[in-house]
Structure 1
Amino acid sequence: MNAETAYAELRSHWGERVKRNERLSRHSTFGVGGPADVWVSLETCEDVQGLVAICAEHRWPVLFVGNGTNLLFADAGVRGIVARIAINGYTIEDHGDGTALLVAGAGVSWPRLLNELAALGWAGLEFGPGIPGTLGGGVISSAGAHGSDLGQVLEWVSVLDARQCAEYPVAPVVCRYQRAELELGYRHSRFRAQRRVQFDEDGYPIATPHKLIEPAEIVTQLGVRLHRADSQQLRTLIEEYKLHRKRTQPPQQSAGSVFKNPAGDHAGRLIEAAGLKGMMHGRAQISERHANFIVNLGGASAADVAALIREAHNRVWERFCIDLELEVELRGEWKVP
């Protein structure tokens, strides 16, 4: 891909929302990552369809992202186009029987939304004030906390299916998956199954292979069940959850939980029992507050974070014979040390 040509073409469609050599550290909760050749923010489903069509026609690689909550971008950045899904609108369809359907864009911020819903007396997502990502990103891993998760209230998901576009310059297809079709489980959905991170023989996490359009099924909108509740009680519960997060999770930049909890145990307990709590590599650290968090102490590199991921994965395997599954995805131009 000729980055200047792609930049000029996208600029003609989306103007100031298109940037050249945008630092991805600005779009990752880890606060690390090099430049994207071209960056664009997409605010409507039509924007997403348009970009997929352009990339399919010109054979330009594109990576769609949300808030960068579960992404570790390489220090060398990402070649091609990185497109942020910023579809932020939502509507509430009141059924008149104490229930409603929330129809929300994939780019809606979880913390912002649940506070607005609480003020209106609608419950269903109040468990998530500590989830920093978007609703669309939450679908991928069925994000949750405090014994609840998105999968429990999700009704359907609209996606832009671009799987054929990777082979032929054809228009992407809009389709809708009902809840039963999403294969929802603990930190899992049908979309997550396509993106599980593997480790090489030395224990280094392997970056997701480059594809023309990634992911090939792009979440654009979702429907969520809501029910009536007392606004003040919802606000109180949300504040309790926020305080719990402050007590139990580190304040520094991080991507949240690094590994999924294995059946019957907790990844943080295993990492701590392996003697790694507080371990540092460069300016990254396995948190002293919660061992399943890797934090940026200021000035960390993506390579620092990846080194700690490797160490935690290897040490837990060596000591407990448990193969921890990574929640974080590696993207970009990675080189194994």
Structure 2
Amino acid sequence: MTFDVETAYAELRLQFGERVRRNELLGRHCTFGVGGPADIWVSLDSQESLLSLVTICSQQRWPLMITGNGTNVLYADAGVRGVVARVALNQYQIEDNGDGTALLVTGAGISWPKILSDLVPRGWGGLEFGPGIPGTLGGGVISNAGVHGHDLGEVLAWVDIVDARACQERPVAPSVVRYQHAELDLAYRHSRFRAQRRVQFDEQGDPIAAARQLIEPAEIVMQLGVHLHRAEPAELRKAIDEHKQYRKRTQPPQQSAGSVFKNPPGDYSGRLIEAVGMKGMVIGGAQISEKHANFIVNVGGASAADVAALIKEAHLKVYERFDIDLELEVELRGEWKVLKT
């Protein structure tokens, strides 16, 4: 696909104004703190702006990558060609059912800590298990984010998505589709949106990013409904404090993207990586955490290639010793080339 950056930038500035920037370093927008520039960066704060941008990119055949808070993303050192847009839809409302329950209707861009800070004083429970989950609720849908034996799927009612699948082949406007809970295929760290994003490993053990589409992802989480219930604010705060303390005890403080690999059935990725002697291993500015082996941390000046090299080594060694093919939780996005170590 061809992409004239200057033409696209000029047209998008007319439409979205100061929210459009050139050569934005993606390391500023992911928790690893690594990644090269996006040709064009746009921040979207409304459903209308999201639909408008997808429509423009579909009609102009401009490559578009949608992102959230970047908490489980590893951007390539070479960055991303085309347009990268952050979904920052933070508006929400609480629909009180009058029977001690309510429905939270929220934009996909709201962060877990932010919504908790608003819900707890009002005495609404349902999401208090996730104060340590740094991402957005929309991102949480993709991986069915969870911790402490709970996950978002337990309280998720429905999801509205921007369906851009038809846009991949022809210049048409996207549609908006609502998926009910039963249609989301929710499981441990999985949803109907996850399979298309899974990173594969080649015969040499190199992680290979999924093939780039014109509009990526083709189904964009825009809004979601979450079941809430009445609870005492003091009890909610107590549960949140306990979860925060557990996170502080068990997870490293340095920049990371959380758990790197999914836990395989009946085991833990951290235990397996530690068992093959990789805990504390350093490549460049990246390290397999000494506190938890299923975390890769930026100990200073790491590159995306450093992180990816550790991913490769951990995956290879666990597979060679235990015959377990660990599944990557982190998404590789951007201009990746085959890694050689």
**1:323 match:** 325
Cα contact 1:73–1:302 (8 A) shared by 2 = yes
Aligned with 2:304 (options 279, 283, 302): 302
- What SS does the aligned partner of 1:57 have? helix
- Equivalent residue of 2:194, what SS? helix
Query: Residues 222-233 of structure 1 correspond to what in structure 2 (within 5 A)?
Result: 222-233=224-235
Alignment partner, residue 136 of structure 1: 138
CA distance, structure 2, for counterparts of residue 169 and residue 193 of structure 1: 25
Partner Cα distance (2:212, 2:132) in 1: 31
The answer on 1:116 being equivalent to 2:118 is yes
Q: Is the 8 A contact 1:248 1:290 kept in 2?
A: yes
Structure 2 CA distance for aligned equivalents of residues 201 and 12 of structure 1:
47
Shift of 1:207: 1.3
The alpha-carbon deviation at position 50 of structure 1 amounts to 0.4
Determine which of 286, 290, 295 is the counterpart of 1:288.
290
Aligned-residue sequence identity (percent) comes to: 72
How far residue 115 of structure 1 moved from its aligned partner, in angstroms, is 2.1
Q: Which runs of 4+ in 1 moved over 6 A?
A: none
Q: Which amino acid aligns with 1:169?
A: P
* Alignment deviations for residues 11-37 of structure 1 (CA, whole Å, 9 cap, x no partner): 111111100000000001000000000
Secondary structure class of the residue paired with 1:245:
helix
Query: In structure 2, which of residues 90, 98, 101 is the aligned counterpart of residue 99 of structure 1?
Result: 101
Contact 1:115 1:235 in 2 (8 A): no
Q: 2:220 and 2:236 mapped to 1: Cα distance?
A: 32
Q: Distance in 1 between matches of 2:76 and 2:199?
A: 15
What's 1:55 paired with? 57
SS at match of 1:157: strand
Superposed CA offset, 1:90-126 (max 9, x none): 1000001000000010000111111211111000000
Structure 2 counterpart of 1:272, from 267, 271, 274? 274
Secondary structure at the counterpart of residue 87 of structure 1? coil
Q: Deviations over 1:190-249 (max 9, x none)?
A: 000221110011111101211100000010000000000000110111011111101100
TM-score (norm 2): 0.98
Structure 1 SS opposite 2:321 = helix
Letter of the aligned partner of 1:236 in structure 2?
A: K
Q: Give SS of 2:208's match.
A: coil
Paired with 2:49 and 2:218, the residues of 1 have a C-alpha distance of 16
Q: Which SS does the other structure have where 1:160 is aligned?
A: strand
The code of the aligned residue for 1:256 comes to G
What is the number of residues matched between the two proteins?
337
Quote the Cα distance in structure 2 between the aligned partners of 1:3 and 1:296: 31
* Deviation sequence 1:257-305 (CA, Å, 0-9, x none): 0000000000000000111000000010000000000000111000000
Q: For residues 57-109 of structure 1, give each alpha carbon's deviation from its aligned partner in whole angstroms, at most 9, with x where no partner exists.
A: 11000000000111100000000000000000110000010000000100001
* Unmatched segments (≥5 aa) in structure 2: none
What are the within-5 Å matches in structure 2 for residues 236-247 of structure 1? 236-247=238-249
Give the one of 223, 248, 251 matched to 1:249.
251
Q: Which amino acid aligns with 1:165?
A: C
The normalised TM-score by structure 1 is 0.99
Q: What letter corresponds to residue 226 of structure 1 in structure 2? A: L
Secondary structure in structure 2 of the residue aligned to 1:261: coil
Distance 1:146 1:177 in 2: 26
Question: In structure 2, which of residues 70, 73, 83 is the aligned counterpart of residue 71 of structure 1?
Answer: 73
Partner SS state of residue 190, structure 1: coil
CA RMSD of aligned residues (A): 0.6
